[in-house]
Structures are given as C-alpha cells and as structure tokens.
C-alpha cells in the first residue's frame, strides 16, 4: 500500500463535518503555520517539497508562489481552480465532496503564505451540489474561528468564498477563469501580464488547482523535505488519479508518484484489470488533452523500460512515443474500442468548448470534428487523414491559450499510432457498421 | 409571470453581491443568473436578463453576452426536467449512446427536443466529471450515475410523478459518488 496524504480518511463516517475532520487531525496545518511559522517559512517548505501543480501543467508550486508581486497597499488573491472539466478527470470532485475541509484548510494555510486576505474557489457550475457542501464547510469554519477575523486568535484574518461557473471548459484556463470570476465571458487573456502580476481585478493573484492547495497541508505538517522523499526524482509526493473506461474498478486513487503503470492498471488495489479479461488497446493517461498511447507504449517506453506514473516517465520519448501525466485523468480503452470514433467524441468536445477568439482554434476544431464525423459515418476520403494532420499542425502553437494545442494533440497522436485504423474505415466504409464501438449498458450491468 | 425576485431570493442575491469588493459587483453575475433561471421558469428570457442587469446596475448587453457564452444557461424554454446526458469519451465507452437512444424512444423525442407535455427536454452534454461512474446524466442539481435502462426508466417515472421543475440550485440533490 502506498502512502496516502489527501484522501486517507475518505471512508471515515461524517469526515465531511468539521468535528470529525478535526478529530482526525484536521486544521493542524493552520494551527502550525499561523502560530509557529512566518508566511515565508510556509513558502520555503512548499518549495522544498517539490510540489508541482496538479491541474495539468505540473509547474512547481513554490516557484509560482514566489513570483507573486507584493506591492504595498494592493490586495492579493488566492483563487482555487475547481473548474475540473478536462474529460476523464473527476478527482477534485471526489476530494471536495468527501473531505471538503481538506480544501478549506489548504485555502487558509496557503492564503497565509501568500498574504491573501480574500480567496475564491471557482467551481464548475455543474458541481452545484458540491458547491453547497463547500459552503457548509466554510460556514462551520467561520463558526469555529478558522475563518474570518483574527483566526485562532492570531493577527491573520481571511475570507473564503465559493463562486459557481456556468458550464464552460475554457474557464479552467486560469485567465479565462479570472474573467469568468469577474462576471464576464470566459475568454482567455493574452499573457503577459501573468496573474502573479495582474490577476483578479488587476491585482496579483495565484491560481492553483484543488489538489495542489490540499497538498499544502501535509507539506506544512511533515515538512517539505519529508514530502520530497515520496516519489521519484522531480515527481514528488502523492497524486490523485481518476481512472475510467474499460476497467474493472473505475474510481479515484491516491498513488505515490513512481508507481508502475502496469501495476496501476492490473493490480486489484487500483484499476483491477480490463473488463472481462479483454486485451488493453490504448490509454489516455492524463486527461483528454494528452496524447493517446497504444498498450505497448503505455506499459513500456520506447527503450523497453517499464513506464512509471511520474511526470518524467510518462513524457519519456516526447510526443513521438510518450505522453503526459496531465491532470491524472486516466482513461483506459480495451481491444473493442474504435480509436477513430473515440477521437471523434473528443474533437466534438474541443469544438464545442473553443471560446472562438483565435481563428486557428475556432475554425480548426470545427473542421476536425466535421472530417472525423464523415469518417465515422462511412464517407471518409483517402485524403482526409493528411488533411486532419495538416489542420492540427496549423492550430498547435498558434493560439492565445493552450486549448488549441489540447485539441491538436489527441488528433496527432491518434493518427501517429493508429493510422491503419483510419485507413481501414476510409477504404472499407462497410466495416464501420461491424465495429462494436462500445459496450452496451446492459452488457456492462451483467459484467 | 412577474419577473421580480421574492424576498428569499433577493436576500440570497444580496448575500452573493457582498462577497465581492466594492465596485466589483459584476462578479456576482453568474451566480445570480443561476438563481434567476431557477426562479423564472428554467430559462433566461430577455425580460429576465434585463431584470438581472437592473439589479447589478450593468447594461443588458453585458448580461446577454455572458448568458450566451455558458452552456448551463438556457436561452429558450425547456421542459421541467432537463435531462443532460454526457456523451464524451469515458461515457461513450460505457454506453452513453444507448442511454440517449433509450430516452429518445421512451419519450418519443429527439435529442434537443421537449416532450409535448413540457415535462422533459433531452440534451447531450460534454464531460461532467463523472467518468468513473459512467454512463451518467444530470438533471438539475442531481447526478445520476452508473445508469442502466432500468434506472433511466425508474427516474423518468419518478420525475413524471413529482411533476416539478428541476434546477441546478435545488437543495434536494441526489448523487451516487
Ligand atoms: C483549456 C484549459 C483547461 C484547464 N482546465 C483546468 C481545470 O479544470 N482545473 C485546473 O486546475 N487547471 C486547469 N487548467 C490549468 C490552469 O490553466 C492552471 O494551469 C492551473 O489551474 C494552475 O494550477 P496548478 O499549478 O495548481 O496546477 C486548464 C488549462 C487549460 C489551457
Ligand atoms: S485557443 Fe481556442 S479556447 Fe484558447 S483563446 Fe484561442 S479560441 Fe479561445
Ligand atoms: S466522460 Fe462523461 S462524465 Fe466524464
């Protein structure tokens, strides 16, 4: 059993209540940080921990915090990114729903480190009921003197609020999120300036993922050096992985970074293998935006070494043979899966979610959906594969925000690794009718 | 329908506005639009949006451009129960297309349509963060997960019998996580 720091108490009855949460050691990091550490001490521990952003990009959190501008007399903000809309990702929901105080505790401790008097948790609108759970937890924290004026009798005062979104994947991009939090359309801003200089209401702002903020609590408690001993190399600590698709045990798992991918997929402690003992075909390891890899490349890298669940190991080989850890949205596809049809669902997603500001993204995602649609409907042309390739190349790197890249990579990787399947569909349209695209609901219910 | 918040809704709205710094009350727009949608028939009519603009003292166009950007705001009337079925990858691999077809047949409507009695609207949506409990659908604040055809049938019966509007802001949510 690997070490667990974030959801080790998820099965404790009533752990969502302040009382039970505190009985299990909750809010100790607030106590410790506010009473025995300076804000800078906290930042230093986070730096030493090697914690990297859990929202997808993996940027070192301590470094991000040290970039925060601190002009005299100007408010600073901490904003929690709880937009969680990357297909395949549902770990933040699990954490917030089961142990809401783990996030609130992290918000207070982190805000103390950053000198933020106010923080906001921006949560996707569809998670309305989770927002209620958080609001209840916040109310409890105020009543216990953990939020509000002079927290635990110290000089530090802090207010924390929840804000619901309106259903838009792009609002997970941090500058779009800030626009949305200001009551506007979620159009990403041109950077620089970065939020650390000019973020919410033009003030210096740190935007961090739910899991990143929750991880600050164990780091403060155990110390950055101890935390950094967990994991492998620059992939320190534990990570929440949300596993879905054709596996026996879908769900949210906390792993120590460095766990072999093969163990994660086949061990009964985690995914429990592929449904009905079928063969593994492919995996999208880090949310829909990262490249899909065929079974042989996800289990072992191109040098034949076992692939590990770390930022480095998963990206070994670059995009030619590797992928990314991303948000930890681990989607598993068995031998029956049509990669082309699956890609179509993703292309449709990115087209739907493009904010429309940049023409390569707005037009390109539309064309990719259209072309993939005609292929899966049996009307594909032999030139369509190269056309798809060209379109994705023209999007990548030519847009305001990374959604364009995120739309391009799945298409590029599917063609790179599964070109023959595209050709098969185009050359023998009648074959598509025979392909069992997915498990039927009742097949699974019986399984 | 008179477009005016009742006292309870107005109190909530004022509480939300107070969360933001002086002069930054426009931040409250999205949460207030959710309340307005729930209070005024499940969708945002031009009158409703104008009313929200007047409350926040902003121009109506500022409300329209936001309401039209986000997928949770309905700019046309919908049924009392908006059934939103996720169709993205993980749900698709576990039979989301079956769920959509089953509902279409059962309610005798196509995706995007509303039943004649105004009870149900069927919509397909993108990943709702429920991929591990696929296939799934959302109705109002409730997540319905690990769906089977039997569960879908039971849900439709339950909703029909209750005969009430479901909103994202409902407190009596259900989920199976
Ligand atoms: C299109 C797009 C969607 C994103 N969605 C999310 C999201 O849902 N949650 C999240 O934490 N980060 C998301 N990100 C990453 C954020 O922009 C940002 O890097 C992150 O919130 C930083 O927090 P971290 O350093 O703690 O990971 C997204 C980025 C892009 C480009
Ligand atoms: S890349 Fe796409 S989503 Fe990002 S700003 Fe441009 S159009 Fe909008
Ligand atoms: S793919 Fe359906 S909830 Fe994520």
DSSP A323: -
The β-bridge relationship of strands A238-245 and B120-125 is: unpaired
Q: Which of B56, B75, B94 is the last residue of a domain?
A: B75
Write phi, then psi, for B159 (nearest 5 degrees).
Answer: -65, -40
Q: What span, in angstroms and rounded, lies between the C-alpha atoms of B18 and A387?
A: 52
Predicted pLDDT at A436: 62
Locus of tokens 């950007």? B69
Is residue A388 one of the residues assigned to a domain?
yes
Predicted pLDDT at A2: 86
Which ligand number lies closest to the CA of residue A81? 1
Size of interface A-B (CB pairs under 8 A): 183
- Same domain? A281 vs A396: no
**Helix (H) and strand (E) counts in chain B:** 7, 4
Is residue A164 one of the residues assigned to a domain?
yes
Is residue A11 one of the residues assigned to a domain?
no
Angle (nearest 5°) at CA A108 between A103 and A109: 95
> How close, in Å, is residue A169 to chain B by CA atoms?
9
Contacts of B142 in chain A (CB under 8 A): 129
DSSP A336: T
Write phi, then psi, for B175 (nearest 5 degrees).
Answer: -155, 165
- Answer whether A233's CB lies under 8 Å from B53's CB: no
Interface test with A, best of B13, B67, B126, B167 (most A CBs within 10 A): B126
Predicted pLDDT at B137: 98
Predicted pLDDT at A434: 65
The β-bridge relationship of strands B81-86 and B120-125 is: parallel
- Same domain? B58 vs B104: no
ipTM above 0.90, yes or no: yes
Q: Where does A167-204 show beta strands of DSSP type E?
A: none
Is residue B130 one of the residues assigned to a domain?
yes
Predicted pLDDT at B141: 96
Could you tell me the residue range of the domain that residue B120 belongs to?
81-162
Predicted pLDDT at B174: 79
Q: What span, in angstroms and rounded, lies between the C-alpha atoms of A386 and A389?
A: 5
Q: What span, in angstroms and rounded, lies between the C-alpha atoms of A99 and A445?
A: 29
Ligand 3 pocket, mutate which of B128, B132, B145 (most atoms under 8 A from CB): B128
Of B28, B98, B138, the CB nearest to A441: B98
Is residue B27 one of the residues assigned to a domain?
yes
Predicted pLDDT at A431: 75
- Answer whether A275's CB lies under 8 Å from A444's CB: yes
- Same domain? A202 vs A72: yes
Model pTM above 0.95? yes
Of B24, B66, B169, the CB nearest to A201: B24
CA of A85 to the centre of ligand 3 (A): 9
Q: What span, in angstroms and rounded, lies between the C-alpha atoms of A6 and A239?
A: 9
- Answer whether A202's CB lies under 8 Å from A25's CB: no
Q: Where does B3-64 show beta strands of DSSP type E?
A: none
**Number of separate domains in chain B:** 2
Predicted pLDDT at B47: 98
- Same domain? B47 vs B107: no
Cβ within 8 Å of residue B54, ≥6 positions away: none
Q: How far apart are the first and last CA of chain B?
A: 37
- Same domain? B59 vs B99: no
B57 exposed, middle or buried (CB, 10 Å; 0-12, 13-18, 19+)?
Answer: exposed
Of A183, A337, A353, the CB nearest to B30: A183
- Answer whether A94's CB lies under 8 Å from A244's CB: no
- Same domain? B124 vs B158: yes
- Same domain? B101 vs B143: yes
**Number of separate domains in chain A:** 3
Q: Which of residues 374-433 of A touch B (CB under 8 A)?
A: none
Predicted pLDDT at B175: 77
Q: Which of A277, A307, A334 is the last residue of a domain?
A: A334
Write phi, then psi, for B109 (nearest 5 degrees).
Answer: -135, 165
- Same domain? A51 vs A191: yes
Q: Which of A318, A334, A350 is the last residue of a domain?
A: A334
- Same domain? B94 vs B156: yes
Mean pLDDT taken over chain B = 96
Could you tell me the residue range of the domain that residue A132 belongs to?
18-229
* A100-114 vs A39-49: helix crossing angle, rounded to 10: 120
- Same domain? A91 vs A171: yes
pLDDT along chain A (447 residues), means of 10: 93 97 98 98 98 96 97 96 98 98 98 98 98 97 98 98 98 98 98 97 98 98 98 98 97 98 98 95 97 98 97 96 97 94 97 97 98 94 97 96 97 98 91 68 63
Query: Using one digit for the tens of pLDDT, what is the confidence trace for B59-114?
Result: 999 999 999 999 999 999 999 999 999 999 999 999 999 999 999 999 999 999 99
DSSP A143: H
């Amino acid at each position: 059993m690997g070490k667990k720091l974030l959801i080790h108490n998820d099965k404790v009855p009533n752990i969502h209540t302040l009382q039970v949460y505190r009985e299990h050691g909750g809010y100790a990091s607030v106590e410790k940080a506010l009473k025995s550490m300076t804000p800078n001490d906290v930042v230093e521990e986070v730096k030493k921990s090697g914690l990297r952003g859990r929202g997808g990009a993996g940027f070192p959190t301590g470094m991000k915090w040290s970039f925060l501008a601190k002009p005299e007399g100007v408010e600073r903000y901490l904003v929690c990114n709880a937009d969680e809309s990357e297909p395949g990702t549902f770990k933040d929901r699990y954490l917030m729903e089961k142990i809401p105080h783990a996030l609130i505790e992290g918000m207070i401790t982190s805000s103390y480190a950053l000198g933020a008097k106010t923080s906001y948790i921006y949560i996707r609108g569809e998670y309305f009921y989770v927002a209620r759970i958080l609001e209840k937890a916040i109310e409890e924290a105020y009543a216990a003197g953990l939020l509000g004026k002079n927290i635990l009798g110290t000089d530090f005062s802090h207010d924390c609020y929840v804000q619901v979104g309106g259903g838009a994947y792009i609002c997970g991009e941090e500058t779009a999120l800030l626009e949305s939090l200001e009551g506007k359309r979620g159009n990403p801003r041109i950077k620089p300036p970065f939020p650390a200089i000019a973020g919410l209401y033009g003030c210096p702002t740190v935007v961090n993922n739910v899991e990143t903020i929750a991880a600050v609590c164990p780091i403060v408690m155990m110390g950055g050096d101890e935390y950094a001993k967990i994991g492998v190399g620059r992939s320190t600590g534990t990570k929440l992985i949300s596993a879905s698709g054709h596996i026996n045990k879908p769900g949210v798992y906390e792993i120590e970074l460095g766990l072999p991918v093969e163990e994660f997929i086949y061990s009964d402690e985690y995914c429990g293998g592929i449904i009905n003992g079928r063969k593994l075909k492919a995996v999208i390891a880090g949310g829909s935006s990262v490249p899909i890899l065929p079974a042989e490349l996800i289990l072992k890298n191109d040098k034949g070494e076992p692939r590990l669940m770390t930022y480095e190991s998963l990206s070994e080989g670059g995009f030619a043979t590797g992928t990314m850890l991303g948000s930890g949205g681990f989607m598993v596809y068995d031998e029956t899966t049509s990669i082309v049809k699956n890609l179509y669902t993703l292309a449709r997603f990115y087209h739907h979610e493009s904010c429309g500001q940049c023409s390569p993204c707005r037009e390109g995602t539309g064309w990719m959906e259209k072309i993939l649609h005609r292929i899966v409907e049996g009307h594909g042309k032999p030139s369509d594969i190269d056309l798809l390739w060209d379109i994705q190349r023209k999007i990548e790197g030519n847009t305001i925000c990374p959604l364009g890249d995120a739309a391009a990579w799945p298409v590029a990787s599917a063609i790179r690794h599964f070109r023959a399947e595209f050709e098969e569909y185009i050359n023998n349209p009648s074959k598509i009718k025979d392909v069992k695209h997915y498990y039927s609901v009742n097949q699974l219910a019986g399984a | 329908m008179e477009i005016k918040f009742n006292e309870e809704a107005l109190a909530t709205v004022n509480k939300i506005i107070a969360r933001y710094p002086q002069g930054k009350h426009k931040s409250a727009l999205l949460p207030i639009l959710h309340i307005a949608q729930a209070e005024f028939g499940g969708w945002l009519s031009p009158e409703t949006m104008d009313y929200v603009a007047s409350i926040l003292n902003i121009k109506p166009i500022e409300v329209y451009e936001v309401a039209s950007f986000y997928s949770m705001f309905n700019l046309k009337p919908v049924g009392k129960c908006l059934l939103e079925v996720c169709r993205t990858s993980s749900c698709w691999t576990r039979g989301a297309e079956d769920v959509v077809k089953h509902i279409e047949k059962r309610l005798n409507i196509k995706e995007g349509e509303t039943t004649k009695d105004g009870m149900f609207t069927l919509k397909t949506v993108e990943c709702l963060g429920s991929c591990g409990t696929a296939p799934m659908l959302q109705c109002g604040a409730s997540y319905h997960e690990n769906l089977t055809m039997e569960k879908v049938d039971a849900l439709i019966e339950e909703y029909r019998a209750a005969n009430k509007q479901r909103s994202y802001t409902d407190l009596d949510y259900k989920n199976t996580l």
